[in-house]
């Protein structure tokens, strides 16, 4: 009983004021922080200091301000750390992609730029991510029409260091386009990175007289690709395309500058004149006289800037011809047999890359109409001397049949 009384006496009462002067512990501190003597608190285990800091402030608005400041500081700290980590990951990824060479583009056309907060890139001297830009072409496929120019362009696009214009721009052969200037032409080119080659193809460049000088005015060191096929086969293919366009919805004049009624005639009637001689005025025949156009290009460009591609061999076995082109363009060998598969239905090779397979559209590889073998033989004999003149210009015998 006595011990219980003693204990009750030792505990402070609710209305009991602890001895000592509060002001002796008060400090003139910021935030009105209050110090109280330890006698104001219930006893606890261990020794207590003479004065104890009370956790709290006497000004709520000021407290809210400092709490907001601390939270903002904490947020900014984590934000900077997070962005630093993201920046490092992006830099490593971009460096790895650059080493591989190509697909830094979408295979679309977006710029991958690494951003970093608070200009840390400059302070850390981190490398700036490469940016794609539109460049004038360093290589052109100048022709020949119906010799596989589209197939050649799509095959070259398998290479990671090649970017292609999406369509035939017809800048150098059409006066209305050429008058728009090189900046207009540049705007039609794809985005590419430094070191990549931009290629454009317009088959009519080969046969248009003004084009060689115009191309040299743009770039005297441009690489020129000329794809050719056996002349009679090319002429029949040209006729087949013109005939396919001779429909009620077609324009009033065909692309061969002949009335539509001509396109509906048999090939034999168009290729031969009424007296039985070869009709060299017929456009598909005229375009197959390759030497008549090549000499104009050789007057402007040295022979080593023009590579003649055998279109017949490109169809039968693409890889050897593509290897020649890679060397000509100064590219590492990247395109191989893994990039092709033979389509039994179409009768020619289709393309394959890491993500998809692709065949040329249905209009490519049309079935040719049957042509009288006697007319084919007559045409091949006619082309013998013209082919020889072409061989002399290119320094190579392509071995086209002579009968």
- The answer to whether 159 is a known ligand-binding residue is no
Question: What's the pLDDT score for residue 75?
Answer: 81
Which one from 125, 146, 164, 381 is the annotated catalytic residue? 146
- Residue 296 marked as a ligand binder: no
**Can you give the pLDDT at residue 261?**
60
Q: Is 51 annotated as a binding residue?
A: no
Q: What's the confidence (pLDDT) of residue 85?
A: 73
Q: What residues of the chain score a pLDDT lower than 70?
A: 1-59, 87-88, 90-127, 246-261, 263, 362-366
**Whether pTM exceeds 0.75:** no
Is 338 known to sit in a ligand binding site?
no
Class of domain 135-394: alpha beta
Residue 42 and residue 44: Cα distance in Å, rounded? 7
pLDDT at 345: 77
Give just the sign of the alpha carbon dihedral 310, 314, 317, 322: positive
Q: Is 364 annotated as a binding residue?
A: yes
Q: How far is Cα 153 from Cα 341, in angstroms, rounded to an integer?
A: 17
What is the Cα–Cα distance from 158 to 186, expressed in whole angstroms?
A: 22
**Residue 61 falls in the annotated catalytic set:** no
Length of the chain equals: 403
pLDDT tens column, 251-278: 434 444 444 467 679 999 999 999 999 9
Query: What are the sequence ranges of the domains in the chain?
Result: 60-98+109-124, 135-394
């Amino acid at each position: 009983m006595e011990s219980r009384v003693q204990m009750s006496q030792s505990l402070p009462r609710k209305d009991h004021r602890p001895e000592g002067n509060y002001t002796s512990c008060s400090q003139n501190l910021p935030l009105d922080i209050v110090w109280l003597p330890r006698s104001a608190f219930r006893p606890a285990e261990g020794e207590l200091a003479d004065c104890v800091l009370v956790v709290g402030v006497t000004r709520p608005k000021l407290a809210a301000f400092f709490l907001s400041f601390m939270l903002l500081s904490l947020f900014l700290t984590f934000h900077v750390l997070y962005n630093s980590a993201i920046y490092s990951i992006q830099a490593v990824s971009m460096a790895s992609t650059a080493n591989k060479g190509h697909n830094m583009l979408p295979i679309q056309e977006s710029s991958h730029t690494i951003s970093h907060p608070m200009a840390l890139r400059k302070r850390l001297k981190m490398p700036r991510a490469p940016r794609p830009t539109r460049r004038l072409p360093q290589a052109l496929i100048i022709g020949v029409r119906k010799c596989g120019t589209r197939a050649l362009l799509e095959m070259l696009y398998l290479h990671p260091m090649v970017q292609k214009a999406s369509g035939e721009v017809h800048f150098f052969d059409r006066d209305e386009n050429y008058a728009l200037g090189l900046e207009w032409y540049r705007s039609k080119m794809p985005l590419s990175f430094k070191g990549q080659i931009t290629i454009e193809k317009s088959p009519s460049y080969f046969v248009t007289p003004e084009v060689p000088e115009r191309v040299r005015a743009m770039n005297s060191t441009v690489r020129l690709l000329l794809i050719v096929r056996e002349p009679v086969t090319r002429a029949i293919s040209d006729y087949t395309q013109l005939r396919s366009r001779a429909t009620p919805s077609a324009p009033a004049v065909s692309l061969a500058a002949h009335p539509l009624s001509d396109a509906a005639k048999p090939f034999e009637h168009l290729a031969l004149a009424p007296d039985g001689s070869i009709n060299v005025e017929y456009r598909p025949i005229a375009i197959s006289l390759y030497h008549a156009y090549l000499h104009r290009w050789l007057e402007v460009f040295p022979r080593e800037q023009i590579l003649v591609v055998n279109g017949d061999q490109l169809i039968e076995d693409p890889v050897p011809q593509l290897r020649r082109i890679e060397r000509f363009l100064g590219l590492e060998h990247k395109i191989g047999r893994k990039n092709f598969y033979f389509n039994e239905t179409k009768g020619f090779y289709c393309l394959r890359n890491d993500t998809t397979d692709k065949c040329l559209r249905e209009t490519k590889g049309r079935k040719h109409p049957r042509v009288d073998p006697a007319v084919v033989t007559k045409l091949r004999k006619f082309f013998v001397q013209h082919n020889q003149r072409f061989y002399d210009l290119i320094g190579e015998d392509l071995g086209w049949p002579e009968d």
